[in-house]
Amino acid sequence: MATKFGNVKGVKFVEEPLGEGLNRVGVALITFDIVGGAVYTGGSDTLQLGSASGSQAYENGVLSTVALTVATMIQNRRRDGRTVTLNQCFGAFNGAQAAATNGPNIFAQTVAVSSGNLTLNLFSAPIAGSAITTTTATWDRAAALFVQFTATYASNNPE
């Protein structure tokens, strides 16, 4: 299986971090697609959002030259000095690409958190369905999913 790197188009905070003390839990909506002429081959590829090494992660269509995880993307948007840790993903909204094999609707399945990044597979339905193979064409609509995260202050940082 080859790993293809998706493009994080946006991060929208749905629930700001709540709780007492140093650790607060929040929820963000992550929208994504594939850019750069990459082709995702259903049944043999895995799509990854974010990367722990440089020249692999895309954000808003721009290839990062440094490591840029999804956790870091969320942390950079928060700008409050907290370290972000991804907990879990849930709920997905379909994207679309008219030229996709088994498309046009594209759903994320088997989404997992891995070292501050998200890995997933693309299918034609939210449950079961056929594996999707994309083309180099631009997606007609970005896909989206929710991610729960913990935002943590360093122990010496006063609230």
Q: What is the pLDDT of residue 8?
A: 95
Q: Determine the structural domain holding residue 148 and report its residue range.
A: 2-152
Q: How far apart are CA 101 and CA 105, in angstroms?
A: 10
Look at residue 20 and tell me if it is in a domain.
yes
- What H or E segment, with its residue span, contains residue 18? strand 7-18
pLDDT single digits (tens) 40-95: 998 899 999 999 887 788 999 898 989 999 999 999 998 788 899 999 998 888 99
Q: How far apart are CA 135 and CA 71, in angstroms?
A: 28
Q: How far apart are CA 26 and CA 82, in angstroms?
A: 12
Number of domains in the chain: 1
Q: What is the pLDDT of residue 102?
A: 82
pTM of the model: 0.88
Look at residue 36 and tell me if it is in a domain.
yes
pLDDT above 80 (res 37): no
- Residue with the bigger pLDDT between 103 and 4: it is 4
Instruction: Measure the CA angle with vertex 118, ends 117 and 121; round to 5°.
Output: 150
pLDDT above 80 (res 157): no
Look at residue 159 and tell me if it is in a domain.
no
Contact predicate 32/49, CB 8 Å: yes
Extract the tokens encoding 134: 């994309």
Look at residue 157 and tell me if it is in a domain.
no
Look at residue 158 and tell me if it is in a domain.
no
Q: What is the pLDDT of residue 23?
A: 79
Instruction: Measure the CA angle with vertex 97, ends 52 and 106; round to 5°.
Output: 65
pLDDT single digits (tens) 85-140: 999 998 888 999 988 888 899 999 999 999 999 999 999 988 888 999 988 888 89
Look at residue 7 and tell me if it is in a domain.
yes
pLDDT band at 159 (very low <50, low <70, confident <90, very high): low
What is the SS3 string spanning 127-138? CCCCECECCCCC
Q: What is the pLDDT of residue 95?
A: 92
45-49/117-123 β-pairing: antiparallel
Q: How far apart are CA 4 and CA 38, in angstroms?
A: 7
Look at residue 137 and tell me if it is in a domain.
yes
Q: What is the pLDDT of residue 99?
A: 86
pLDDT above 60 (res 17): yes
pLDDT band at 36 (very low <50, low <70, confident <90, very high): low
- Residue with the bigger pLDDT between 154 and 10: it is 10
Q: How far apart are CA 82 and CA 22, in angstroms?
A: 9
